[in-house]
Structure 1
Amino acid sequence: MKKYFLIGLLSVSLCSLAQESLPLVVQQKNELDQNSWVKNVPFERIYTPEIGNQINHFDIRKDNPLEWMVAPASGGLWLSKDAGITYENIFQNQPTQQIKTFAVHWGKGIIWVATPYGLFTSKDKGNSWFFGGLPEFKTIESVHINPRNTDEVVVAVLGNPFDADEKRGVFKTSDEGKTWQHSLFVGNRAGVSQIIDTPNGQTLFASVWHDESTTWKSIPYGSMSAVYKSEDFGTSWSKVSTDGFLSGNFIGKIGLAAHGDEKVYAVVDNRGSKTRSVATRNLAKITNIHLLERDFEAMNKTDFLNLDDNKLNAFLHAIGQDKKYTAQNLKDMISAEITSPARLMIFLGIRQQEVIGAEVYVTSDGGKTWQKTHSQPLEDVFYQNGNQFGAITVDPNNDKHLFIGAYPLLESLDGGKSWQSKHNVSLDDSFEKIYYRNNTLYATSKKGLAISYTQGKDWIFRNVPQSVSFTKIGYDKHQKSLFLASEQGVFMSKNNIWTKISSQRQLFGSENDIYVGSGNGIFYRYNVEKNTFLRLKSLYTSENKAPLRFGKQTPLLVSQHNSDVLYVGSNKMRFSSDRGQNWRTISEDLTIGSKKGNDIYATISAIAESPLSVGLLYVGSDDGTIHITSNGGTTWQSMYASNSNAFKVNNLVASKHHQKRVFATFSHPDKTNPEPLIFMSEDQGVTWTELRSNLPDGRINIVKEDPKNEQIIYLGTDSGLYVSFNLGESWHSFGSLPATGILDIFINDGTSDILVSTAGYGVFKSSLEVIQPLRVAIVAQDFFPLREKVRVEHSNRWGNTWSDWESPELPITHFEVFASKEMKLQIKIMKGKVTLQSFTYKTSKGFNYIPYDMTISSVGKVMFERVAKRISLETASDGRVYLPKGEYTIVFSVEGGFDEERILEIY
């Protein structure tokens, strides 16, 4: 390992990918998996509430609408043959379960899927897979297979959303992915977000999206956004969004839907400034539908605090400030009298600037001419979040019947001239992808795949079971309650019953103190016993120097030394000694500083408190700073400040084993960059040691120390779960989990159980009991059984059943052993000198879990009864004989001539 001062270090790339038959990162991951000591550690799924999951893509078979495929976010590729009643994962043994989009030729069973590692393809409906090319390509949005020649495939590449990227546009292969041609390139900040085909199979339309966004400012529009057309299945392209189409510098994302070969509808995110007409403004004042900045001018404090939160949030959406503030944030500022309603916008440094938003255009001549379908504006459809949508679909049997998906679901029966809402509008949910066929409307949201047979009036969900993601795990030891946080809210399991307790999305604390939050600095304390919430006092209280900046994932820390003490990070540190009823500021701005933009930036992103020293705190920011205080915030010292690249500090962990040890993980400002950045300091942040070693690519989401063994660290990354037994000198991957990201890790200090939350696959559980004691002395041996005694509770139901219709209970236990290499074992179960059962096992290097079914062989039964004389062993209904209660000897005979013995107790 190398030692560094952290200043400026992170501007250096830690690895690069090479063009191989498989991407280098996949080869590295495969090699790590094969050599891992913990690849055999078993995990079991913890069944959690079915909350749904965002859907990245779905495809309905046109000649059989009961059959479809769906790709949940980070959740694999699933095939259903009965309209979503049951599902089969057809991509589960591949290098990743993160699929952005896919294409399927239903007749031939050919599938192409887009992953972070590139394209994979199957010719047999998912039974086998091959790498299809395009490694290192970021954000592949659309894939199409030529129905006349399946060797030809076109791919839409959006590219890096945060930087210039030459690998954007349309790429085409004519030889099943062996070689690729870059057939459309518009600009290094303009990628292709969608490709649609037409009935003739050869005419394609592509939507180009110009996006100049940065980490702190959303600029998802530009002059290069346009519609292109190809008449030779993607070999050549021409721009067709000219005559009558939206022009200028404010063209955002474009969504397309075709009816026939010549008619195409486009829903466009028009980011041009909008001034509401006098009639609209008067109507807004009369009906109080919309809030305007000038409405605040005559308001007093009471009037402002009585404003409807939904309308105030809609106002923030309309002016593009919903990512930085909520209605409650504004009310907290006014309540704390930091400013007045009349001066609020000036105080925040923002001004009202609504955009035109959703517009629908149509061409009936293949793109030669276009016209806008509606004369009246489509108000409050996208607000300023049109970059999240672009969903439009047309009825194949009626070219005048359209749907648009956004915050509302809109339907038109006259070709887009007039529209009506089909669903209650919610700013917390939306329609992301929509598809209409055979009088059935399919739609996706963060809750999953929904189907309507009533034109959007009523919905049913058809989600993949347990395809769920939880961002945080919490546990109340006193009440023995498990908590899980997700985009859909916070859920609690008590007595194995799951209940949704809050719509908030953040979860903090453990043991006896549970807090939830909605981001932006708004928190509640939850009383598990009474099932009640108490909102913490406004964090703006006693802070009137400048607006506080709270991130969407505002960190809150409950002190390990005093549970009444809370710390919250905005751009400054706030402190409470009475569980959030009063606050004071204990630092100046601990970030590099705010940048002008409409996205949240320059906020505190991580807080850690030393469990060994009261008042020793570490604080990290999303623009690349780390500060330390050893006296509870009286004085602060900067330990790291990024220069050219502002890497986000996404984890800080103060060691529970050594007072001066601290771990820090970072994420790249380019969120598509997968470098795993982890460092350790043994001197409170003065110098840092890089711990990446043999870790494969994958952004780090969570780091945990082992509570018992100071040499062990656990990491959850976008590529899986890892453990180091030597403080980061080398890493091992847990191979029995799905190949997806790990969002959180929880370790129960008392039981040594570990819970891990996966991206797209729910929560899994295992035991660290035999892993934690690992020492150099054990590793140095060729073979070592890890338990002195294996205890198993006896059951009279072993091999038996109480009903002819029920399968017998088949017991299984495991003998955990550590092996330094592959070797052959013979395992004997003995009573005295009698061998009751004998079997062989081939170990792999590392931890092995040798299964044993508790049975006695026929010869062992005879020998046992002969020695015991008065004991007769009964045969179970499954025809087997099982061990009775008692103590037995497990003999491990290692190839090469030595034995190890341990005790097996059946009690």
Structure 2
Amino acid sequence: MFRLSFALVVVTLAVVAPAQQLPQEWADSLHWRSIGPAAMGGRIISLAVYEKEPSTWWAATASGGLLKTSNNGITFEHQFDRESTVSIGNVAVSQSDKNVVWVGTGEGNPRNSVSYGDGVYKSTDGGKSWTNMGLHKSFQTGRISIHPTNPDIVYVGALGRLYGPNEERGLYKTTDAGKTWSKILYVDEKTGVIDVDMHPADPNTLMVATYERERDGFDTNDPSKKYGPGSAIWKTTDGGETWKRVEAGLPSCNLGRVGIDYYRKDPKVLMAMVESEIIAKQPEDAPYLGARLEAVDAGVKITEFGQTRGRGRRGRGTAPAPETPPTDTPAQKSGLKKGDVILTIGGKRVHTVDDVDRESRRHKASDKVAFKVVRDRKDVEVAVTFGNQPKNARSPFTGTLGGQAANLQDRQGPNGHEYGGVYKSEDGGETWARVNSLNPRPMYYSQIRIDPTNSDNVMVLGTSLYRSTDGGKTFGRNAGRGVHSDHHAEWIDPNNGDHIIHGSDGGIYVTYDACKNWDHLNHVAIGQFYHVGVGPRRNYRIYGGLQDNGSWGGPSRTAGLGARNQDWIRVGGGDGFRCLVDPDDPDVVYSQSQNGPPSWRNLETGQRGSLRARGGRGGGRGAGGGQRTRYNWETPYVLSGHNPKIVYTAGNVVFKSLNRGAGMKPISPDITNTDRGSATALTESPRNADIVYVGTDDGALWVTRDGGRHWADCFLVGRPRANAGGDSNGEKPAAVKGGEKEAKPEVVKELVAKKGGAAPIASLVPGPRWVSEIVASRFEANRAYVTLDGHRSDDDSPYLFMTEDAGETWRSLTETLPVGAGSTRTICEDPSNGDVLYLGTEFRAFVSLDRGKHWARFNGNLPTVAVHAFAVNVPSGEVVAGTHGRSLWITNVSAIRQMTKEVMAKGAHLYQPTSAIVWKTSPSTGGTNRRFTAQNPASGAQITYHLKKKAESVALEIIDGAGAVISTLTAKTDAGLHTVAWNLRKSSGNQPAQSRGRRFRRGGARVRPGTFTVRLTVGKDVQTRKLLVEIDPDNPDPSWMTFEEEAERLEAELGGTEEGEEHDG
């Protein structure tokens, strides 16, 4: 229950005095560099191929925009980088004009981490530019279908909002290229369209799948509602004027997700994936034998009586027998004995355990069936009466993650079609017949493809990649050998069925030999990072966790051209999340996978450890045992800033360890509002180790100011009193008294007045919201920031608050955020300047110079993308952004940290540069376009200055220790923020001798480490800053510099290097 009645309180915040504000033009001038990684790819959701030129195609990512290739994947162009949203549900290209491309925004898969869109976009220049054509509130897109000869006619399947009802969903049609839309199929405000398939020869005939689904606010695998009366297959033969709901042969119960595909050679043939609300369940009258079996030479032997363990249809008999074997199973009651070898059931010969299961399931409970067995070397006839399945029996039809296993269609009884699976129609979709039980995790996949050249070849996309060569009667699951799991998109060449383009959670794959071999096109950085952490050194390493791709680590820069796929190492599996680096020992890296406590690993020694609370203590209410601890999909944990061996983690209880997870003990009561809640954010104050905050997915926010002995609920007005005996000593967790649950208006008004406009946080939000991040300030012990993510509550507004009194009252910091910023994901305080904040939202990044009073977009060349995390490396002056769709990006913020109110007021200012490093170079290696190379920072020193207005003349010079000008740099005179790179070389007048008429592109000789002066002259205004040049910290012995200088001198004498042939790293 939410603890403060929002309707009772109206709060007017105090007017904030003007402060320094970063001009948007200055923020735009800051350059982000993409560093990948690309090795693991990212989720591909849709493919569109221009079939007249099959080397031209588009791949839509779930949250990283659109990729286009015109050379069959040798190179890709990032498109859709500057639109207002980035998540894509479907992409389609007109087969009559390859320049006409449509994108439906908002991924259609209703998974927990899915993003959202703002309608449909059209390009008329092959994806170079885009126009939003409406359907702004459709939220997510199922599929787009374009008329084959008239590109002005387009159908869009709109799914609608995932976390609540709305009317902008259903099937929309335009006949004027998107200028106007007609809603031609609408079920209700809870049901949208997930699939649209157009007849290959008659564009007025369409098959459409509607889908009723909704998620709640928790990170479960499946939607809270995934079946309903709105889910169905529909058919029109007049372009949507009239519709028929198709039901013949399909399940009569509520359906879930449906996917459809026409066979191009014969459009009377269609296939569909159909989810039923009774998927994988046992029939109510399913027969039960009650015997454990194993195959022997003669038949199938009864080894024990009782319920089969594991997957029932296997029945291998490997499970241990119960201490007291049952005496009343149907097999025993009917006279079967241990050691009997079953030969036939109902006259049908059986050789395997699967045979027994199949023949048994041709019958139902209470049927009497003749068994022939061998007993004591004699054939014996036994009349067996099947019983009912035990109530706790696990269904033998269950697949992975809520799906249904393959090739079991003849074991689900005469009404097997009710359970969903693969269906086939041979009359144009009027009637259907089930051909296979297969349906892997329907809400996430439900994709089926018929080979356009041969209807016997059928592909089903799931966690595995399934292929049938007999029209769907049987499926194997090894078509994706070597391909990353979780398959979502596929195109089969209509002229060559062996040629397939495929998309999964691991990116893009291509085969030319019908799935025997796959080529992974992993040279685009589209990773979906949940978190990022950095090491403490100047030449630091970066670690982060990705959706379904584990956790990885790699360099922030390299001595060569830039990091490549082979420079990254995997440090964790599963879905990767929060990664942290021990600041005292950077070889110790923490990582985690879904729903689980983190672990750590020493990359040098191989030593490992876990942060799991031991002893089997449940979380429960009060963490006193009895109930299991509930951990979130992304379990929060932190290393203490006072002692990194001290680690905190949280589920529905906060835990603390004094030694990297050893002796992990609870230090809080249950911190959640509901029996499903779990922690999502956790922080310890860098100023005071006794102050710890924790937030949850069900809207709770707590703080302790005494190391966990007592806890206060930040959503209450005033502190609740701690129970006298509730001190936390690791054995008896702290507890609190609830206090008043509803705030009195007069109490709130008094508190707001007392705090100068700050208010209880509950009065600033409309209800409980997911706590996405908490950051305790490094500069003030009682200051902290919290972001709330409301999109799971069907609320896309940004929420960011700051407290100056350890959680008692809060101020909103979102007033100056632009409309459309999206849900708030993360907040980061700069460790060198407490006034500088970095904010990550669903669609972009923002920066503030005055603690959130004013914000500027912090995207520059960073594309539209969800920013889930920031990490700051202090020695380098760099910020790393972990994006959920475009991997990792880095920018230098040394100048931003220095932008005080006084500095911003100056007409011209030279910022103190970060020390520069003379890096040891490495030999270049050969390469092709099929290899991703990260962007290194500009070589040498980065020197930044600003001009408030255009200057007549600007001079920027480097002076050595003797006072001599050794380099004059090109400096812009325009108003704005300017950054110039000095490559640590003397000007060309001092460069080595040249011969053969070639120009030695590097300039003069490289300087040795030392202290230099940077001088900026703007008119009569002269400013200087010291610049420290240091030797490569990884190669402190300077002898390599002598070697490289000799090599350069020799190269110059021999003729040098053509300009453009070599790039400084």
Q: TM-score, normalised by structure 1?
A: 0.79
Counterpart of 2:831? 707
Match of 2:732 in 1: none
Q: Which amino acid aligns with 2:257?
A: K
The structure 1 residue matched to 2:569, chosen from 477, 481, 499, is: 499
Gap change, CA 1:750 and 1:166, over 3 Å in 2: same
Aligned residue in 1 for 2:77: 88
Q: Deviations over 1:74-94 (max 9, x none)?
A: 323222233212212243454
Are residues 826 and 281 of structure 1, via their aligned partners in 2, closer, same or farther at CA, if it must alter by over 3 Å? farther
**Once the 2 structures are TM-superposed, how far is the Cα of residue 550 of structure 1 from its aligned partner?**
1.3
Q: 1:403 aligns with which of 459, 465, 468?
A: 459
Deviations 1:708-734 (A, max 9, x none): 111111112222221100010011122
Pick from 785, 790, 802 the counterpart of residue 668 of structure 1.
Answer: 790
Q: CA deviation at 1:838?
A: 8.8
Greater gyration radius: 2
Partner of 2:682: 607
* Structure holding more strand per residue: 1
- For residues 277-312 of structure 1, give each alpha carbon's deviation from its aligned partner in whole angstroms, at most 9, with x where no partner exists: 867987986597834799999879xxxxxxxxxxxx
CA distance in 1, matches of 2:37, 2:921: 31
**Structure 2 unpaired stretches of 5+:** 12-20, 106-116, 296-307, 324-392, 403-415, 619-624, 717-761, 923-937, 1030-1065
| Partner residue in 1 for 2:262 | 258
CA contact (8 A) 2:40 2:522 kept: no
Gaps of 5+ in 1: 15-31, 301-313, 324-353, 595-600, 798-809, 866-870
The residue matched to 2:598 in structure 1 has which SS? Answer: strand
Matches of 1:424 and 1:833, distance apart in 2 = 65
3-state DSSP of counterpart to 2:553: strand
> CA offset at residue 546 of structure 1?
1.8
Q: Give the direction of change, closer, same or farther, for the CA distance of 1:527–1:428 in structure 2 (3 Å limit).
A: same
Which stretch has the larger CA shift, 212-221 or 5-14?
5-14
The aligned counterpart of 2:999 is 878
* Pairwise CA distance, 1:187: 1.0
Alpha-carbon distance, 1:224 to partner: 1.5
1:405 positional shift: 1.5
Name the counterpart of 1:247: 252
Which among 343, 363, 385 is matched to residue 425 of structure 2? 363
* Residues 902 and 792 of structure 1: CA distance in aligned 2, closer, same or farther (over 3 Å): farther
Give the structure 2 partner of residue 618 of structure 1: 693
Query: Aligned to 2:883, which of 753, 758, 763?
Result: 758
SS state at 1:779 partner = helix
CA RMSD of aligned residues (A): 4.2
Q: CA 1:435–1:72 in 2, change beyond 3 Å: closer, same or farther?
A: same
Q: Which moved more, 1:821-830 or 1:112-121?
A: 821-830
Distance 2:952 2:612 in 1: 64
> Are the aligned partners of 1:789 and 1:903 in contact in 2 as well (CA < 8 Å)?
no
The residue type equivalent to 1:230 in the other structure is T
Q: Aligned match of 2:226 in 215, 220, 244?
A: 220
Whether the aligned pair in 2 keeps the contact of 1:789 and 1:902 (CA below 8 Å) is no
**What letter corresponds to residue 423 of structure 2 in structure 1?**
Y
Whether the aligned pair in 2 keeps the contact of 1:194 and 1:255 (CA below 8 Å) is: yes
How far residue 255 of structure 1 moved from its aligned partner, in angstroms, is: 0.4
Contact 1:358–1:386 (CA under 8 A) maintained in structure 2: no
Is the contact made by 2:639 and 2:645 (CA closer than 8 Å) also made in structure 1? yes
1:519-570 deviation digits (Å, cap 9, x = unpaired): 3234322112212323445446334222221111111222222333322211
> Is 2:216–2:793's contact at 8 Å kept on the other side of the alignment?
no
Q: Percent identity?
A: 24
Q: Deviations over 1:214-234 (max 9, x none)?
A: 33462201111111223344x
The structure-2 alpha-carbon separation of the partners of 1:34 and 1:725, relative to structure 1 and needing over 3 Å to count, comes to closer
**Which residue of structure 2 lines up, in the alignment, with residue 465 of structure 1?**
524
Partners of 2:910 and 2:1016 within 8 A in 1 = no
CA distances 1:842-869 after superposition (whole Å, capped 9, x unpaired)? 5354x322567999999xx7xxx9xxxx
Q: CA deviation at 1:47?
A: 4.4
Q: 1:454, CA displacement in angstroms?
A: 4.0
Matches within 5 A, 1:433-512: 433-437=489-493, 438-439=496-497, 440-477=499-536, 481-486=541-546, 487-493=548-554, 497-504=567-574, 505-510=576-581, 511=583, 512=585
Q: Which residue number in structure 1 is paired with residue 781 of structure 2?
A: 659
1:371, distance to aligned residue in structure 2 (A): 2.4
Matched, 1:67 2:56: yes
Aligned-residue offset at 1:181: 1.5
Q: Partner of 2:310: helix, strand, or coil?
A: coil
* CA offset digits 1:6-61 (Å, max 9, x no partner): 955699999xxxxxxxxxxxxxxxxx998343111122232435111100211123
**C-alpha distance in 1 between matches for 2:501 and 2:777:** 50
2:210 pairs with one of 205, 208, 211: 208
Verify the 8 A CA contact 1:78 1:464 in the aligned structure 2: no
Report the CA distance shift for 1:357/1:782 in structure 2 as closer, same or farther (over 3 A): farther
Q: Is contact 2:212-2:225 (8 Å) kept?
A: no
Aligned partners of 2:691 and 2:706 also within 8 Å: yes
Distance change (3 Å), C-alpha of 1:682 and 1:828: closer
1:481 CA displacement? 4.3
Instruction: Describe the shift of the 1:603–1:857 C-alpha distance in structure 2 as closer, same or farther (beyond 3 A).
Output: closer
User: Is 1:387 paired with 2:443?
Assistant: yes
* Counterpart secondary structure, 1:777: helix
Deviates more, 1:452-461 or 1:706-715: 452-461
Shift of 1:134: 2.2
Cα pair distance change 1:10/1:514, threshold 3 Å: farther
Whole-Å Cα distance in 2 between the matches of residues 318 and 582 of structure 1? Answer: 42
Match of 1:550 among 631, 642, 659: 631
2:104, 2:141 within 8 Å by CA — same for their partners in 1?
A: yes
> Which has the higher mean CA deviation after the structures are superposed, 834-843 or 88-97?
834-843
Structure 1 pair 829–568 and aligned structure 2 pair: CA distance change class (3 A): closer
Q: Residue 544 of structure 2 aligns to which amino acid in structure 1? A: L
Structure 1 residue 664 displacement after superposition = 0.6
Task: Give 1:617-656 correspondences, 5 Å limit.
Answer: 617-640=692-715, 645-656=767-778
Q: Letter of the 1:272 partner, please give it.
A: I
What code does the residue aligned with 1:118 have? G
Q: Tell me, what secondary structure is at the counterpart of 1:729?
A: coil
The offset of 1:769, in angstroms, is: 1.7
Change (3 A) 1:281 1:461: farther
Distance, in Å, in 1 between the alignment partners of 2:58 and 2:291 is 46
Shift of 1:136: 2.9
SS at match of 2:903: helix
Deviations 1:212-263 (A, max 9, x none): 4433462201111111223344x424133122222222x1100000124433
- Secondary structure of the 1:100 match is strand
Given the superposition, is the C-alpha separation of residues 318 and 523 from structure 1 closer, same or farther in structure 2, using an over 3 Å criterion? farther
2:854 matched residue in structure 1: 730
Question: Shift of residue 268 of structure 1?
Answer: 0.3
Q: Post-superposition shift, 1:149?
A: 1.9
- Which residue, out of 257, 271, 278, partners 2:277? 271
Task: Give the deviation of 1:143 after TM superposition.
Answer: 1.8
Q: Match for residue 694 of structure 1?
A: 816
CA contact (8 A) 2:987 2:1004 kept: no
DSSP 3-state at the match of 2:902: helix
Secondary structure, counterpart of 1:841 in structure 2: coil
The 3-state SS of whatever aligns with 2:895 is coil
Q: Which SS does the other structure have where 2:443 is aligned?
A: helix
What one-letter code is carried by the residue in structure 2 that aligns with 1:490?
S
For 1:52, the equivalent position in structure 2 comes to: 41
Distance in 2, Cα, partners of 1:435 & 1:872? 57
Cα distance between partner residues in 2 of 1:281 and 1:389: 35
User: Does the 8 Å CA contact 1:826/1:838 hold for their aligned counterparts?
Assistant: no
Residues 663 and 431 of structure 1: is their aligned pair in 2 closer, same or farther, counting only changes over 3 Å? same
User: Would the alpha carbon gap of residues 727 and 481 (structure 1) be closer, same or farther in structure 2, given more than 3 Å must change?
Assistant: closer
TM-score by length of 2: 0.68
Q: Distance in 2 between matches of 1:299 and 1:577?
A: 43
Give yes or no for contact 1:84–1:463 (8 Å, CA) kept in 2.
Answer: no
Shift of 1:653: 0.8
